Structure 1
């Protein structure tokens, strides 16, 4: 008690006071009353006070008094050892009789001891036991919930990564397919250009007809490589009715394709199937296939027609360079200009211009070479030459156009 008196005198807001089994050596009734008064004083003076007790009345005091919180350590009755897990808000139970029974005290003595307990104490212990059971159950459920949340988070992250990889692979696949299609279209257009250029050199109707048939074949090849367009995408076909040779729409590319193998209906939309789009063969999932709707038709490649140039037709009067008959390609890359030149020549022929000027500049000569090689095979061109000094010299190519009427 002298120690406690000294603590009361010295305690201030910076003090941590630790009391083990407070007033345990005195009468329990008076001890509880005295302990309550001491704890109130320390609550008001000390920074923090931690006190242990086995007195049930003191536990009840702490649960009702402001500024106090009950706490207890879990105790394993099987091993007779504390778990050292602190449970705040739950007062500890008195386990003296249970521990005595576990240590081998005769059962009749254990029963007699329980009979001597105050009924209120028994009810309090039973209530504490039930509260402890519920607390442990909730703690386990909370642990399970946290583990499940972590598992779901990990799965979500895994699926997100897989989806990202699949989207990247799909983009790369589409990029590769589109590059292949562009390459094939470029070859097909070049074949058309050469075939049409042959019309100007055809000497007999039979030769003309042969060239026109060649153009028709290449046109069909181009159409098969082009995406289809329309107002609807069609319904997914009946997988069980699909067979090799059927024509379908491959939705990701919006292109018509021919089936090279029938899908397995048992695998549903995930069934792999081989298709051919033009000269390109690839595998897709059955879920990407659609019926070819009636309102979806292949895009048409415009093919220009013209009259055969007469060998002895007089040269037209040459117009001087002007904004309306000139195409300036300076600053552009060589591989990007063919489509611009082709469009410019087509528009100029429609306007019935006798000649035009393509400005490519001097530079390294790469752009000039590409332009002049292209003009040499173009069906729009009757002849071409480097520009005169007053027209821009070798940085310009003057083009005499065919009469495309």
Structure 2
């Protein structure tokens, strides 16, 4: 009897725990749904705000055009003036149609919406101006789009057309011309390290671009500080194939002969 009572108590505790988990899960589901609805409202407000701004700009442009036409009509009261005005309007309409046709022909092919990526131009339903894709679509099929100064998350279903701008080819990189007169010997004797080492590198570069095979560096013997610094530089320089002290008759330890990499 005692065991049966304990099992009932355990079953009741498990039911209570399950009910509590279900209650928490339902509360979490409601909270997520509330947040999703808030995000959707915010997205629609951003899109609607952008649409209103564009419509206001278009209406202002139409008002200016109407005012200009009225001014022209007031100044052209004669029959000849009206005929010229009508002819100008027809020509303007023809030019506008040609411009639209050319723009349509020059437009790059549409990108399948499933392949939209950052940098693509997209047209949203109800918005005349294109936006720029900033992020890839997420699991919910939404992506971030920049519309002028605004940014909004929009579903793929709201995108009418997508285009990928043509890549601008990078200008070719040309190597600097070889020096007109590259020397095969430099003298840094008596210089400080700050003066000598940059000069050695400069002449190494010039010798390499001029196609010289050898470069003699006259650094002198002295205390050996300058000689050691020059040779330490040469030991890790990419333009140096090898180096060695000069022959005794050519200056010995006071001169380093460099074989320039080809």
Q: Quick check: which has more Rg, 1 or 2?
A: 1
Category of TM-score, reference length = shorter chain: 0.3 to 0.5
- Compare relative contact order (CA 8 Å, sep 6+) and give the higher one, 1 or 2: 2
Question: Structure 1 or 2: larger helix share?
Answer: 2
TM-score using structure 2 length: 0.40
